[in-house]
Structure 1
Amino acid sequence: MENIKINDFKVSGSIKIKDLKTEYNLDASKKKIKKELKNVRKEVAKIQDTMYAHGKYAVLVCLQGMDTAGKDSLIREVFKDFNSRGVVVYSFKVPTDLELKHDFLWRHYIALPARGKFGVFNRTHYENALVTRVHPSYILRENIPGVDSVDDINEEFWEKRFEDINNFEKHISQNGTIIFKFFLNLSKEEQKHRLLRRLELEKKNWKFSPGDLKERDLWDNYMLCYEDILNKTSKPYAPWYAIPCDSKHTSRLLIAKVLYDTLKTYTDIKEPELDDDIKANIGLYKKQLEKE
């Protein structure tokens, strides 16, 4: 199998979406890729167990991608070996009336993982600089002072929104949240195949919405917005990884590998030492139990 170098996928300079890969050849069979994923995700789960006991770090995993990019199945497969207490998944939909009464980051802030846990955002706070940018009229629902019409939503507005997002991520990073942001880079042709599959397979029909085709017509607009997002918000404390995802099996392994290779560098994540009194009396406690 091809040796995976996670920095090959990290966005660390100015990029063009058209130059990013949507396919990645691991030179391995599907069976071998699935086996390697199983091995890596078990190692990530072990780190999470230690993190839970350690209680100093949280991990936030952000997944962004076009419809059919495979976010749901990726979450299922990558986190399959986690203790259920150690991971919480949030799927962000259209903001509710309550959420719209707060700033755009509020609903994401209250969903952040506690120290010792993984939080997975299936679609993220970046929807507020993506869908809303493609459909600027959505911003008007936020009822922001000084934004009375679409004409008020200019480049300065988006620059301030990016600044808010960067500050938000820097703040939570400084307070113990390790951030991973994954752009699931799907080709337009592969999306077509996956949408057709939803229509052709009866058990997949429920996943299809006519709205998917309307958003597909805006593909180029979305790619321009993603390009801007990756270039302006990939920071050392919260890097973006552009993951080729025309193959779901490959993308799952790449993300698991990024998680594992990064987290294992945190050598300060250790199980806490036992209290000296408890350690000194372990033999006594064992005898108490054995006498029952």
Structure 2
Amino acid sequence: MRRIAFITESSARPDEAMPAHKFFQGTQSRWVNSVIKYMEIRDFPHEDIFFLSHYEQRVIGYKELVEPYPKQKYHPRKNEAIELAHKVMNLILRMESLPFVEIHAGRTFSDPLKQLLDEHNVSYRIYGSGIPLGSKPNYYGDLIEEELNKRKLKEIQREKWQITSMIRLQTPQEASEVITNFSNNAHLYGIERNLEELKELLGNYNQKRKDVKNALGEMELLLHEEDQTGELEAFLQDKGSLAELHVDSEFESIKNKYGKCLAKFTLCLIKQSYVLQSENKISEALLRTQIALIK
């Protein structure tokens, strides 16, 4: 539902023409200043914010240019407030659909407008009702803090979704990226333990990969010494697991010829299996991290 807001004018005004939202701000207009800040912090559409002036009963747009006008010596009369309320009501009724109305003004204006809004079944909220004038800036200060907290929570939620969207294949590379980009704010996302677990698992994974690389290096040196004909190299070409190695009918004869080198290759396969196990653990840990992020 569209929301529109009506803000009271301020009595302390400049002596030069300015856009309304600047014209009604000033060091002595703490209440109006805080209302405007509350509007801005919520990204309230400027075209839906209006200021109310009892001088000639005017409804003024947020960015409308306002010329200096006389300061009233006396409190607005009841009939003047009613006339202004009717102008506001006419503005509301001309809208395509009835909006939700925010009233940031004192009772002189809010009481007659409230009566008209009730008559036309228009939803509304009177901000700061019953709050003394001197306490209204503090009241709006609390609203602003609440809004900032909401915004912070929304930003954190978006960042949590960003993390879950990065984890697509649950790979060590994704784990490394998550740790690098989000460790500093892990406490905000509730995944401190998850990232600590990932760091440990990733460290073990990288060490196991180094072990495989070193074992392969030793095996290749031995292969170069023992396999002068290339027979063993051809045999090992498509062997990626112990199962594939042992199922081959030529395994026993090859083992008898190149026992030492084949033992090194078997060690490489075992170490590679450890790498795969480590990858699976990381995958499981990443899934737990995703679940923690959506709780």
Please give the TM-score of this superposition, normalised by the length of structure 2.
0.29
